[in-house]
Amino acid sequence: MKTARLATAFLLTLALALPAAAQLPDLQQPPADEPIIELPGEAPDPADPAVGEQPDDPGALQEIAPDVEAIEEPVGPVSPRVDDPEPQIWGNLPELPFIGVPTQGGVNYMTAVGPVAYDTIWVSNFVHVIMALIVIFVTGLLLYCIIFFNKKANPTPARFTHNTRLEVAWTLGPVLILIVIGSFSLPVLFKQLEVPEEELTIKATGYQWFWGYEYVDYDFGFEQFMLQRDELEPAGYLPEHYLMATDSAMVVPVNTNVRMQVTAADVIHSWKVMSFGTMMDGIPGRLNETWFRAEQEGIYFGFCSELCGLDHSFMPITVKVVSREVYDEWLDWAIDQFGGTRPEETVAAAN
Ligand SMILES: [Cu+2]
């Protein structure tokens, strides 16, 4: 009787939940044309010279308030390339293999290309082995109880309620397991934070909803916006790189220790590139530091990994790892493009 009632309740719940689940919107495809939210507050004051005026240099507005554009048009990812009639491949970099890319249906980690990534994947595999052993042990215990202590096999159960030895064992056992895991995982955690002798410092700033990069040694920076579907091919990406490829890319030389400084301008973001084993929260008012060393030339994608608002999923990260020579050429291009300086120029000017 009770079973029948339970089964009916279960079937009813299913019948109610299934149509609701079927009506869930397709999250992969946000409607691009219609505004998703209406901004509260007053309409902009036309007397304010900053309102309604189109500056000759669109970069100027970006400089004053980098996140203004994103707030004014909260209709989806913003890309500065939309009006660009001839989008060009960023910095004239040569073709690079796609390495840090998720694969359809893949279950394992993305290709690891740096010391921190190797270590984190090792720790993960190690913990998986421990977990598998625990699962086997607990399943064995369950089967043992089911077979030897059911009503038929054991009609008169024992009446004791305490067993000191057993209780000590099931307390100490897990504690020991945690100590073993911690002794392997904590050194890796500290390794991510101890920046070895760095050769390049890059500061990433999270905005709602894009990333900004500053090459602090060279006094220049740029922003990084997600590419729309029709912008992928001209920029050298494939259709499946939608939601990952960006207009600009952070460019770093191969086999170089990069000190990564991460912060945010509005809310908490997180700069994460799986292939480097790097994930660092960007917190407004704080400068967090981590590092990576990419040991293979190629293109790597990453994502903002701290829920940061409406377009959290539309602020991906693209990093291009290139040879030293290509990097030097790109650096020349970028210093020209963004008005940076070379450290030797600064020294010469000081003298
Ligand atoms: Cu974010």
Is the residue at 43 inside a domain?
A: no
Whether the Cβ atoms of residue 39 and residue 71 lie closer than 8 Å to each other: yes
Q: What mean pLDDT do residues 73-89 have?
A: 44
Ligand 1 mean position to 316 CA, how many Å?
9
Query: What is the Cα–Cα distance from 185 to 151, expressed in whole angstroms?
Result: 45
CA separation for the pair 52, 34 (Å, rounded): 22
**What local confidence, expressed as pLDDT, does residue 56 receive?**
53
**Ligand 1: distance of its center to the CA of 71 in Å?**
14
Closest CA to 219 of 321, 323, 334: 334
Neighbours of ion ligand 1 (CB under 5 A): 269, 304, 308
pLDDT at residue number 19? 44
Segment 87-112 mean pLDDT: 83
Mean pLDDT of 311-328: 93
Task: Please indicate, yes or no, whether residues 175 and 205 belong to a single structural domain of this protein.
Answer: no
Tell me how far the alpha carbon of residue 264 lies from the centroid of ligand 1, in angstroms: 9
Question: How far, in Å, is the centroid of ligand 1 from the Cα of 215?
Answer: 20
Mean pLDDT, range 261-288, rounded to an integer? 94
pLDDT of 271 above 80: yes
Task: Kindly state the tokens that stand for 70.
Answer: 């994103």
Query: Is 125 among the domain residues?
Result: yes
Mean pLDDT (whole number) for 279-283: 94
Centroid of ligand 1 to alpha carbon of 1 (angstroms): 53
CA of 267 to the centre of ligand 1 (A): 8
- Measured in Å, residue 20 CA sits from the centre of ligand 1 at 29
Q: Does residue 326 share a domain with residue 184?
A: no
**Cα 68 to middle of ligand 1, angstroms:** 16
Residue 231 belongs to domain spanning: 200-350
Ligand 1 center to 224 CA (angstroms): 12
> What gap in Å lies between CA 262 and CA 286, rounded to an integer?
8
Q: How far is the CA of 211 from the centre of ligand 1 (A)?
A: 8
Grade residue 88 by pLDDT with cuts at 50, 70 and 90: low
Mean pLDDT for 274-285 is 94
C-alpha of residue 232 to centroid of ligand 1, in Å: 21
* 226 assigned to some structural domain: yes
Whole-number pLDDT of residue 45 = 55
- For residue 250, report the distance from its CA to the centre of ligand 1, in Å: 17
Let me know if residue 337 belongs to a domain. Answer: yes
| Residue 295, in any domain of the structure | yes
In a domain, residue 288? The reply is: yes
As a whole number, mean pLDDT of residues 268-285 equals 94
Query: In this structure, are 187 and 309 located in the same domain?
Result: no
Q: Are residues 290 and 306 in the same domain?
A: yes
How much distance in Å is there from the Cα of 309 to the middle of ligand 1? Answer: 7
248 CA to centre of ligand 1 in angstroms? 17
Biggest CA pair distance of the chain: 95
Mean pLDDT of all residues in 177-181: 96
Q: Determine how β-strand 220-224 pairs with β-strand 210-215.
A: antiparallel
- Asked if the structure places residue 101 within a domain, the reply is no
278 and 342 together in one domain: yes
How far does residue 314's CA lie from ligand 1's centre (Å)? 8
Q: How many other CB atoms sit within 10 Å of the CB of residue 226?
A: 25
The total number of structural domains in the chain stands at 2
Using pLDDT thresholds of 50, 70 and 90, give the confidence band for residue 89.
low
**Degrees (nearest 5) of the Cα angle 202, 208, 213?**
15
Ligand 1 centroid–CA 260 distance in Å is 17
Q: What is the overall mean pLDDT for the chain?
A: 80
Q: Distance, CA 174 to ligand 1 centroid (Å)?
A: 36
Instruction: State which of 193, 210, 243 marks the end of a domain.
Output: 193
Q: Is 108's pLDDT higher than 80?
A: yes
How far, in Å, from the CA of 319 to the mean position of ligand 1? 17
From CA 13, how far away is CA 336, in angstroms rounded? 64
Please determine, for residue 181, whether its predicted confidence score (pLDDT) is greater than 80: yes
Closest by Cα among 74, 40, 26 to 312: 74
The Å distance, Cα 269 to ligand 1 centre, comes to 4
Which DSSP letter does residue 78 get? -
Q: Which helix (H) or strand (E) holds 61?
A: helix 58-64
Q: Which of 85-94, 132-141, 186-195, 250-259 has the lowest mean pLDDT?
A: 85-94
pLDDT of residue 347: 60
Q: Provide the CATH number for the domain around residue 222.
A: 2.60.40.420
Share of the chain above pLDDT 70, in %: 73
Q: What separation in Å is there between the alpha carbon of 297 and the centre of ligand 1?
A: 26
Output the pLDDT for position 275: 94
Please state, in angstroms and rounded to a whole number, the distance separating the CA atoms of residues 75 and 130.
46
Q: How far is the CA of 304 from the centre of ligand 1 (A)?
A: 5
Per-residue confidence (pLDDT) for residue 103, from 0 to 100: 87
pLDDT at 345: 63
Query: What per-residue confidence (pLDDT) applies to 55?
Result: 45
Residue 52, in any domain of the structure: no
Q: What is the pLDDT of residue 85?
A: 45
Task: Give the per-residue pLDDT at 7.
Answer: 52
